[in-house]
Amino acid sequence: MNTESKSITVMGYARAKSGHEDDVRKALKAFVEPACSEEGCVSYELFEDLYYVGSFYTVEEWASEHALETHVKAQKPDMNKILPLLSDEIRISVVKALK
């Protein structure tokens, strides 16, 4: 699949361990501004589930696969710091719109 010519849409999911919701929320919010300023970031939004507090989602769009790979490398050290606060692994899906 040639993804260099099209933007890449990514959806992420993370669930905080009980009692760590505020810590995870704060850490994830701190990722938004730096991600938005990265070269190749088209959009980067963070959401929290209204009914399942502590469940967080990102919806991201990157200009290219290279931009996404650069982003992942840049955020990996900080993401590793919050892993102990999560109830499960972070789930990342690269998706395409069905038309």
Q: For position 61, which CATH number holds? A: 3.30.70.100
List, for residues 31-59, the tens digit of each pLDDT value.
999 999 999 999 999 999 999 999 999 99
How buried is 56 (Cβ within 10 angstroms: 0-12 exposed, 13-18 middle, 19+ buried)?
Answer: buried
d(CA 86, CA 14): 7
List, for residues 15-35, the tens digit of each pLDDT value.
999 999 999 999 999 999 999
Query: What is the span of the domain harbouring residue 47?
Result: 8-94
The domain tally of the chain equals: 1
Q: Is residue 99 part of a domain?
A: no
5 has a pLDDT exceeding 70? no
Q: Is residue 1 part of a domain?
A: no
d(CA 56, CA 52): 9
Q: Is residue 2 part of a domain?
A: no
1 has a pLDDT exceeding 70? no
Amino acid at 11: M
pTM of this structure = 0.88
CB distance 48 to 22 below 8 Å: no
